[in-house]
Amino acid sequence: MKNLLIKQRLALVVASLFILCSGKAANPIELQSPNGQLKVSIQITDKINYTVSYGRDELLQNCSLQMDLQNETLGANPKLIRQKRTTINETIKREFPMKNAFVKNKCNVLQLDFKRDFSVEFRAYDDGIAYRFITRKKAESIVKDEDLVINFPHEYQSHLSLTGSFKTSYEHPYSHIKTTEYKENERMTTLPVLLETDKQYKILISEADLSDYPCMFLKSTGKNGMKSAFPKCPLEFGDDGDRSVKILKEADYIAKTAGTRSFPWRLFVITKEDKQLLENEMVYKLSSPNVLGDISWVKPGQVSWDWWNGTFSPYGVDFKTGCNMSTYKYYIDFASKYGIPYIIMDEGWANSTRDPFTPNADINLKELVKYGNEKNVKLILWLSWLTVENNFDLFKKYSELGIAGVKIDFMDRSDQWMVNYFERVAKEAAKYKIMVDFHGAFKPSGLYRTCPNVITSEGVLGMEQGANCKPDNNIYLPFIRNAVGPMDFTPGAMINMQPEVYRSERPNNASVGTRVNQLAMFVVFESGLQMLADNPTLYYREHECIDFISSVPVTWDETKVLYAKVGQAVVVAKRKGDNWFIGGMTNSTGRTIDISFDFLPKGKEFQLTSFEDGINADRQAMDYKKKTLEVNNSTKLTINMERNGGWAGSLK
């Protein structure tokens, strides 16, 4: 009996030594968030698997990660060498705060170093989990693929932006699909993706610190899970008009990149409180800091936009409207009157969309720049991305002319070449103090922090899409698209209709939803370059509304989410200096919401000027009522929003 016990113990020792020598973890390696609520458990066997839990609830189960290089697979039969634990606890002053002037960056870090010169770094925040690959290869790496596989322990509700191709404008409406019903042969989705679990947790999936690498898409595993998909690296291009190219040949890999580098973060914002989706700063925290140096010349602000209703839409004037001097001076005069620092000259200002230097015959750019400077209004010029690529010296020439920024359009791709294009443009523009709005773009993935002259980007089904831009879809944007970075939605319509009577055509385009729904967007939606989409004539006519819109800042010192229900409604309060603004939006269901003003400093009285849906706004969407009220820290108020409606107010 004694000999048998000795043999059994010896066998256990040998087994333990074998596990240690083979680099396999006998027990899960765990990393917890600072508050101890979130936990990622990593199991190293023949693969690297992980499970994410909140308290006792497993949210992501037995997920895996792997990177396939040309001659090896990182994560297949991994040999763990060491693990290193650190913490990050810092406060970052944001260059241009979309939510708060200061960002608290606090997390626990676990770096797992493996044989074959690679590591996987995990970070655990109180509101999410993230991981990334790090490689230390001497030679250049050819990445054939990267595998992210996530599995759900139960059926979840997913909110997806489905696309049938890697060539996409990122302007698809959200589809709402049970994860068990999302089939393997269905279309893939762009990021970010939002999941609602069976226990009311919310999981927002996206990526950060994207550089020299393609964007990630997700598709169904067919087994109640999702897996990554990436566009291949393009090798040869052919002509496809004035704003695009055909990809004639693709590589069999997704990226050719430096062998020693960190790869993009795969991130999961996780919360039980819907409001934390709006409050999160995960993409910003995980992305590389400013590389541009002095950025005091970057000035976020509002901009009057000529495209939505066309430069021919102003009326009641004594000149022929169009892409001409008189019309653009009219836009400049309007912007100057309301303290709006920019106007955009969209497609039509140039003689040819292929030529960024020659205005049309009715435009004198030098004179317009001079006229604008006299009125404290700068010009931003629209260009197709292809024209920029073919004329990379334009930034220098625009700077000499006095142009403040460029709006670059129709990229509609996110392969490695195009991701690198975004960064090349941002850095070249910064050399000459030119700001950039990437329209026709993929979602923000950190470039707005690394190159802060990128002050907004599209990648959203915005108001350009007319009847397809409905409040039932818009209400998801603060929780999904805007939760990962600034968003060029282009709000501000002064002709408003309920969907069953909607008719819209230039020069009198309209929005779906109420007037106050549009006003609230200027507070709720985040963009470093917030557009006023409608024409000055209508704003002059609706002077109460333009007085409010033009008073709303685009950067903020503090944000408080007063009410948030994914897909239903949101009410947000934001502070700039001593003044607060409140914006509320709802979907196609009208509702009343009780809000408290306990976010105000004690002992101070504020005057609330509010805009509310009128009594007939459920039929006549332009109906609204303006009110004033004295409020303080102890005030409570019930606000009413009609279907497709909103509520907006300023506190001074």
Please identify, among 411, 438, 459, the residue that sits at the C-terminal boundary of a domain: 459
Residue 325: CATH number of its domain: 3.20.20.70
pLDDT band at residue 24 under the 50/70/90 scheme: low
The yes-or-no verdict on residue 17 having pLDDT over 70 is no
Encode pLDDT of 246-305 as tens digits: 999 999 999 999 999 999 999 999 999 999 999 999 999 999 999 999 999 999 999 999
- Please tell me whether residues 51 and 194 are part of one structural domain: yes
- Please tell me whether residues 361 and 450 are part of one structural domain: yes
Encode pLDDT of 151-160 as tens digits: 999 999 999 9
Encode pLDDT of 461-489 as tens digits: 999 999 999 999 999 999 999 999 999 99
- Please tell me whether residues 407 and 265 are part of one structural domain: no
Out of 171, 279, 464, 612, the active site residue is 464
- Please tell me whether residues 52 and 139 are part of one structural domain: yes
In a domain, 353, yes or no: yes
Other CB atoms within a 10 A radius of the CB of residue 94 amount to 17
Encode pLDDT of 585-619 as tens digits: 999 999 999 999 999 999 999 999 999 999 999 99
In a domain, 646, yes or no: no
Tokens of 68: 């396939």
Whether 605 is a known active-site residue: answer: no
In a domain, 7, yes or no: no
The yes-or-no verdict on residue 530 having pLDDT over 70 is yes
Long-range contacts made by residues 480-483, C-beta under 8 angstroms, separation at least 24? 480/159, 480/174, 480/192, 480/193, 480/194, 480/204, 480/277, 481/192, 481/443, 482/278, 482/525, 482/526, 483/192, 483/204, 483/269, 483/277, 483/278, 483/280
Residue closest to 200 by CA, chosen among 157, 140, 233: 157
- Please tell me whether residues 133 and 87 are part of one structural domain: yes
The yes-or-no verdict on residue 3 having pLDDT over 60 is no
Spacing of C-alpha 35 from chain mean position: 27
- Please tell me whether residues 278 and 358 are part of one structural domain: no
pLDDT band at residue 447 under the 50/70/90 scheme: very high
- Please tell me whether residues 324 and 208 are part of one structural domain: no
In a domain, 448, yes or no: yes
The pLDDT value recorded for residue 27 is 85
Whether 630 is a known active-site residue: answer: no
In a domain, 124, yes or no: yes
In a domain, 115, yes or no: yes
Residues above pLDDT 90, as percent of the chain: 96
Residue closest to 264 by CA, chosen among 292, 290, 283: 283
- Please tell me whether residues 80 and 145 are part of one structural domain: yes
Maximum CA extent, the chain: 109
The pLDDT value recorded for residue 26 is 60
Residues above pLDDT 70, as percent of the chain: 96
- Please tell me whether residues 179 and 135 are part of one structural domain: yes
In a domain, 433, yes or no: yes
Out of 196, 409, 412, 612, the active site residue is 409
The mean pLDDT value for 170-190 works out to 97
Rounded CA separation 97/104 (Å)? 13
- Please tell me whether residues 268 and 326 are part of one structural domain: no
- Please tell me whether residues 104 and 59 are part of one structural domain: yes
Residue 218: CATH number of its domain: 2.70.98.10
* Structural domain that includes position 187: 27-229+255-283
Task: Supply the mean pLDDT for the chain.
Answer: 95
The mean pLDDT value for 216-242 works out to 97
Per the DSSP assignment, residues forming a β-bridge with 607 are 630
Q: What angle do CA 54, 56, 61 make, to 5 degrees?
A: 70
Structural domain tally of the chain?
A: 2
- Better-predicted residue by pLDDT, 17 or 391: 391
- Please tell me whether residues 73 and 196 are part of one structural domain: yes
In a domain, 643, yes or no: no
